[in-house]
Amino acid sequence: MADPKGFLKTQSRELPKRRPVSVRLMDWKEVYEQQESGALRRQAGRCMDCGVPFCHQGCPLGNLIPEWNDLMWRGEGRQAIERLHATNNFPEFTGRLCPAPCESSCVLGINQPPVTIKQVEVSIIDQAFANGWVTPHPPERLTGKTVAVVGSGPAGLAAAQQLTRAGHTVAVYEREDRIGGLLRYGIPDFKMEKKQLEQRIAQMQAEGTRFRARVEIGRDIAWDDLRARYDAVVVATGATVPRDLPIPGRDLSGIHFAMDYLVQQNKVGAGDTVADQITAEGKHVVVLGGGDTGADCIGTAHRQGALSVTNLAIGQQPPEERPEAQPWPMFPTLFEVSSAHEEGGERVYLASTVEFLTNEVGEVRAIRVAETEYVDGRRVPKAGTEREVPADLVLLALGFTGPERVTIEDQLRLTFDGHGSLERGATYETGEPGVFVTGDAGRGQSLIVWAIAEGRATASAVDAYLEGETVLPFPVKPTDRSISV
Ligand SMILES: Cc1cc2nc3c(=O)[nH]c(=O)nc-3n(C[C@H](O)[C@H](O)[C@H](O)COP(=O)(O)OP(=O)(O)OC[C@H]3O[C@@H](n4cnc5c(N)ncnc54)[C@H](O)[C@@H]3O)c2cc1C
Ligand code: SF4
């Protein structure tokens, strides 16, 4: 156990400072400063090493949180990263980007603020990279079996790393020009700088994973040809189809899906030139949708020099305190002030967008918005409450409906469930032998921590399929929806 009296001596959370808003808006670097090591140790020391560690259940990866809290408190960073890597291939991603459902189920959280688990996690991996403790783990022997992983987001990367280490020859196919999925082209640098991705890809390459960017399976290589070339295929293509808002004026210029906007800025950040880049500079920006994607658009628009940023959400503002209906150890839906929200803009709840309004040359100039009212549980615009919100750029961040269908349906003959996600069985295998589905493609729009957990479990299932048995862990079933997320 970490400090036996730690939770009595330190009763509050200490998190690293965010850089001042006026400074961080001038660049694209991560917003957090380094945390002083004493504060981190105090936080790790608050962990009570509970007999039943609910945080294990809160984390979809089953991270061994009390063990590495204890090791960090003792200053045993090298052992801490070994325990962390035992369950999580990529703590540098989750330590920066996870909403930390583990903290909602921390036992200390019943009557005190929970341990800053996510901060301890990211400190362990940052320290490990800085000290050269993250080294390649190539397999001791090769099995002679080959696996194609299609899609290089966190699910595909986790599956590929596990399978490579198990001795299979793995190639990751990605249709974009760079590897990383949404970690590369969705999430902006101010949330996670791309060097985090580069150093992990370098480790994977040194272990033997092969990366094939700019290859779209279904177009550049037919799915059947891919199956013929490999002993198993993992479909990790994400849930990339954006939800649209088909209301009057939708075809005006100046209205874009959030991902079209975010991808372009991430490419510019990588040093590319993007012709006719969608930019918020000098514009009144309206972001529709209140989730992570919306927040990423807000932070990006402010850095590009928007005149104003308004974020409209159709639903009610979530409560600031845990509601009774979501008691500990559940992961509650709370009003969140992310770093992007802190940087400015107005957030409006119960706002139903009714129409996009045009100027004389066919560009959007405003949107007509009404108050949302609930009628028989449905959200509808309330009559007589309509008003105009000026908008030269509208970004639709309304979520995703599922994976793209065409070539997967036609060439691979996979089926989709009622939510639009790819169907798979209890071991992630589909009706087509040797074809597995993992991550958002099968789960629907979700989180990085779930994508990594599914990628690890899928690798275990693929290894068992190829070898008849496996020692790889199987952290989550496709149907798992823990009480946390
Ligand atoms: C803007 C944004 C911000 C987010 N922020 C967070 C966050 O802060 N924290 C969090 O936990 N989650 C966040 N999420 C969700 C998280 O990113 C996803 O749940 C996660 O990336 C899913 O991983 P995945 O590997 O299943 O798919 P993805 O990351 O979507 O990767 C799928 C990849 O497959 C490729 N692909 C698709 N079809 C083909 C094909 N036919 N051939 C070759 N390649 C193909 C795609 O180009 C893509 O690169 C965010 C999502 C978005 C959109
Ligand atoms: S991956 Fe997420 S849920 Fe798991 S320990 Fe880290 S922050 Fe917590």
The answer to whether 442 and 428 have CB atoms below 8 angstroms apart is yes
Tell me the C-alpha distance between 371 and 349, whole Å.
9
Query: With contact defined as beta carbons under 8 Å apart, do 95 and 121 qualify?
Result: yes
Concatenate the DSSP letters of all residues of 27-93 into one string. Answer: S-S-SBPPPPHHHHHHHHHT----SS-HHHHHSTT---HHHHHHHHHTT-HHHHHHHHHTT-S-HHH
pLDDT digits (tens, 9 = 90+) for 14-73: 999 999 999 999 999 999 998 888 999 999 999 999 999 999 989 999 999 999 999 999
Q: CA quadruple 47, 120, 187, 27: dihedral positive or negative? A: positive
Residues 6 or more apart whose Cβ sits within 8 Å of residue 181: 151, 152, 153, 154, 155, 156, 157, 174, 236, 238
Pair of tokens at residue 354: 């009714």
Cβ of 301 closer than 6 Å to ligand 1, yes or no, is no
Number of Cβ within 10 Å of residue 235's Cβ equals 30
First to last CA, the chain: 27
User: What proportion of the chain, given as a percentage, has pLDDT over 90?
Assistant: 96
Tokens 């952290």 locate to: 475
- This prediction has a pTM of 0.98
Give the alpha-carbon dihedral of 291, 294, 298, 299, to 10 degrees. Answer: 70
Ligand minimally distant from the alpha carbon of residue 183: 1
Q: What is the C-alpha to C-alpha distance for residues 440 and 8, in angstroms, rounded to an integer? A: 41
Yes or no: say if 408 and 217 are a contact pair by the CB < 8 Å rule.
no
Place of tokens 């559940």: 330
Q: What is the pLDDT of residue 196?
A: 98
SS3 383: coil
Q: What pLDDT score does 485 carry?
A: 40
> Nearest C-alpha to atom 33 of ligand 1 is from which residue?
151
Any atom of ligand 1 within 6 Å of the Cβ of 485: no
Q: Give the ligand 2 atom nearest the CA of 103.
A: 8
Contact at 8 Å (CB) between 92 and 126? Answer: yes
Ligand 2: list residues with CB < 6 Å: 58-59, 61, 63, 65, 94, 98, 100-102, 117-118, 121, 449
Ligand 2 atom nearest to 101, measured from its CA: 3
Q: In whole angstroms, give the CA distance from residue 158 to residue 156.
A: 6
Pocket test for ligand 2, best of 72, 88, 94 (most atoms within 8 A of CB): 94
Q: What parts of the chain have a pLDDT lower than 70?
A: 482-485
All domains in the chain, ordered by first residue:
6-130 (1.10.1060.10), 146-240+401-467 (3.50.50.60), 244-398 (3.50.50.60)
pLDDT tens for 302-339 read: 999 999 999 999 999 999 999 999 999 999 999 999 99
421 lines ligand 1 (CB under 6 A): no
pLDDT of res. 320:
95
8-state DSSP, 350: S
In degrees, rounded to 5, the angle at the alpha carbon of residue 441 between the alpha carbons of residues 435 and 446 is: 140
Among 84, 44, 91, CA closest to 452: 91
Dihedrals phi, psi of 300, to nearest 5 degrees: -70, -45
Distances (CA, A) of 143 to 146, 157, 390, 460: 8, 20, 61, 15
Q: Is residue 216 lining ligand 1, measured as CB closer than 6 Å?
A: yes
- The angle, 0 to 180 degrees and rounded to 10, between the axes of the packed helices 37-45 and 65-73 is 130
Place of tokens 């945080």: 55
Token match 């939800």: residue? 243
Burial class (CB in 10 A: 0-12, 13-18, 19+), 107: buried
Q: What are phi and psi of 347, to 5 degrees?
A: -110, 125
The residue count of the chain comes to: 485
CA 148 / ligand 1 centre spacing (Å):
18
CA of 239 to the centre of ligand 2 (A): 22
Distance 70 CA to ligand 1 centre (A): 33
